[in-house]
Structure 1
Amino acid sequence: MSLDNERNGGLYGGSGETRTRLPEGEGGGQDVYGGGRRSGRSSSRSLVTVVGVVVLLIAAIAFANRGGDSSGEGDDAGKKPGANPTAASGTKPVDGKTSGIPSGYAKTAQGAQSAAANYAVALGSADMFDKTKRDGVLQTVMAPSSVNSFKAELDRAYGPGFYKNVGLNEDGSTPKGYKFVSRTSPIGTTVTAFSGQKATVEVWCSGLLGLAGERSTKPVTSSWFTMTMKLVWVGGDWKAATHSQKDGPAPVPGDDRASGSDDIAKAVEGYGGFTYAR
């Protein structure tokens, strides 16, 4: 989360449909979603086109899913295509937790990504607005050599002015009758550097921040930002040595109708978070 201003951004958009637009017949006929009638020749040609597309799709799927066939020639024979960079690896989430935060990651690039994603959630949570809870989060996710400097930095940042700016009381407490919301959800991760003992991971996130309440002047808004973490392998786990944040990339806001404050408060209380694994 940003320390010098509120996070603002677009609302989530809905899912769309994928349509195959068939070739228009001769003479400027309407497309398949129009109301015009096509001639028998145009309909036949459209049917052939659709069948051709389906055959190509089946062939592509079969090629992508074929197993390791040793009968092929060349060094690449039998190898499956590499996973898309944004696809899940299939690695199971970690089983352990320290102070409620997932811990015990593999000493791999994937393990570093999982650690960065879960640490982004912790560093963007409402616990960061409480001094005692914040110190606990830093003790868990930060490398021992970085804890004290980050504590001092954040103690200066989380002052009366900052609390007031996000709608809280000057001591960081939530005004009576309101629900304070601060939640971070990783969208994806990427490793920009890895050496076995160190890793730099970028985490693309969506965030929620604000006060849910009938007369809130700081309503809950969404934002998009990218957090960069430099991780080190220490004590048998990945820990964050530094972390920074920049805005975006943010998608175009959707057409969703904003929910009422009660719905937002109930959603935050009723829906728990996830343990993220790459």
Structure 2
Amino acid sequence: MSHGDESGYGDDAVRTDDPYSTIGGTRQTRTRLPDGEGDGYGASRRPARKPRSLVTVVGVVVLLLAAIAFANMGGGDRNDNGDGAGGAGSKPDSSSTAATGTKPVTGKNGTIPSGFAHDEQGAQSAASNYAVALGSVGMFKADTRRSIVQATHDPAVVENLLAAMAKAYSPAFFKNVGLNEDGTTPSGLTFVSRTIPVGAKVTEQSGDTATVEVWCTGLVGMAGQGSTKPVTATWFTISEKLKWVGNDWRIESSSQKEGPTPVNGDNRASTADEIAGAVEGYGGFTYAR
């Protein structure tokens, strides 16, 4: 997370349309809170976009962490003119949102799914699962961060990326996101950082390389009574440039942009304890296209 609009590692720059975007467990957020008495999440309804305290710092970190993808190369589902899918008035192909029926991979590289097929379906599954891993709480701990980066990236970019991350995850950064200076979570609180893929598409593929866009929603913040950095949600699209290395897809470079973002519903914001209980009680998934 550099402090500008761009940052990168190796030969590929990390590009983003929003300086407050996120990969690696951090992201810009929008949330709607209820009116009336509050809990650890605040007391009254707030505007859709808050001053960027946690989000600003978190978003900055993300740009450095971003090791997921490439810039948008156009639509994977193309119209007759060869450009992005869906011209004015056109209907999306049903196959663009339907599951393939291909079973998820059964292999694991540490805790991360591995052994993806050497085709478009495999590339989409790999990109989705890697987005989840790179947006997890594990990225905030040095040992698990190394394991995640090694499991998801081309070995040629791993060490440079880890060196950049070591500088980004500083005591000052941890403090700004609500953690203790050593990266541990304050007593009585639960640190939340999750990325949830909504859909994926291949925008370019040629032999042993593929570019995949993963549309995601995500959660980040502190859950628990007394939290001053409540868990909030955001929507963003990650683009991953993948390379076939060691009989599996690995990330060469990455970028992300904000949205597409749906209209917020009128759901009541849950209490801090409800959010903490949900995060601790519900596990994640292995994603397959």
Q: Same fold by TM (over 0.5)?
A: yes
Instruction: Please tell me whether residue 113 in structure 1 is matched to residue 134 in structure 2.
Output: no
Residues 158-237 of structure 1: pairs in structure 2 closer than 5 A: 158-237=169-248
Q: 3-state DSSP class of the match of 1:177? A: coil
Q: 4+ residue stretches of structure 1 with deviation over 2 A? A: 1-7
Name the CA shift for 1:236/1:3 in 2 (closer, same or farther; >3 Å): closer
Structure having the higher Rg: 1
Residues matched between the structures, number: 209
- Give the partner amino acid of 2:171: P
CA contact (8 A) 1:112 1:199 kept: yes
- Give the partner amino acid of 2:222: L
Deviation of residue 155 (structure 1)? 1.4
Q: Distance in 1 between matches of 2:174 and 2:206?
A: 39
Deviation of residue 245 (structure 1)? 1.9
Q: 3-state DSSP class of the match of 1:226? A: strand
Greater relative contact order (Cα < 8 A, sep 6+): 2
Deviation of residue 242 (structure 1)? 1.0
Q: 3-state DSSP class of the match of 1:152? A: helix
- Give the partner amino acid of 2:199: G
User: TM-score, with normalisation over the residues of structure 2?
Assistant: 0.69
The residue number in structure 2 matching 1:8 is 29
Instruction: Please tell me whether residue 248 in structure 1 is matched to residue 259 in structure 2.
Output: yes
Identical-pair percentage? 57
Deviation of residue 104 (structure 1)? 0.2
The residue number in structure 2 matching 1:156 is 167
2:156 counterpart (145, 148, 159):
145
Instruction: Please tell me whether residue 273 in structure 1 is matched to residue 284 in structure 2.
Output: yes
Deviation of residue 213 (structure 1)? 1.1
Q: Quote the RMSD (CA, aligned, Å).
A: 1.8
Residues 120-139 of structure 1: pairs in structure 2 closer than 5 A: 120-139=131-150
User: Going by fraction, where is helix more abundant, 1 or 2?
Assistant: 1
Structure 1 unaligned segments of length 5 or more: list them.
Answer: 12-81
Q: Distance in 2 between matches of 1:221 and 1:8?
A: 6
User: TM-score, with normalisation over the residues of structure 1?
Assistant: 0.72
